[in-house]
A and B are shown apart, each in its own frame.
Chain A
């Protein structure tokens, strides 16, 4: 059975994208990536610490045979800063794929969608494969799709909040509004949240804190993998309609007098 997720012409068997931040150590991160089955991992672009000598490079701990790197623009607050970060990321030579993330509010970490759309237009013109973090507004999602983004990544709750899927209806409407993959980015707290995202018809889920911050991160990574498979299978199988009242599963005929 082939149920690959296709983004930017590339096929992914895993529908989970994992982060590389907040892990207790790099060894644990590597084991989490393996346990989750992920084939795409986000990384951040930062100033090189010129005082550090001989520290282990993050990239030594990411299996790039299997994993597509997705550099992010996290903590950028303007389109210009995000575009600058993407250009630097591309010169790091690993990938022209980027997770575009332009924030508009420091407390909620909600995206500035106006800046995001502007940056997306510039980046697509420059040949980047753009996966933007966005709100659950389907109008914005359409604009991002029209700009040529390879996917849209709406939030389900604030980044790192672990509040779960707070906007199922909005996500469902958004899913119907665009033809490119919809990846839930931000809000996942535990495995059932991942299942719900897939049951709603979302194509992928990006998560970091829910795994990295779990008491047993590797175990949670495995739970996320199972939850993704369960949710996706349930979506493809087609759930029963919701009813207000009971409906017996056993036949009324032949009931003993």
Chain B
């Protein structure tokens, strides 16, 4: 029983990590080719 609980909690932890990765991608990803500077891009 304890082993199954430990396995489940390990899974939950992996789920949290996966969510943290998804959040990092959503907050940090973007189009690098797109410039919106007013001034001309050299």
Is B one of A's binding partners?
A: no
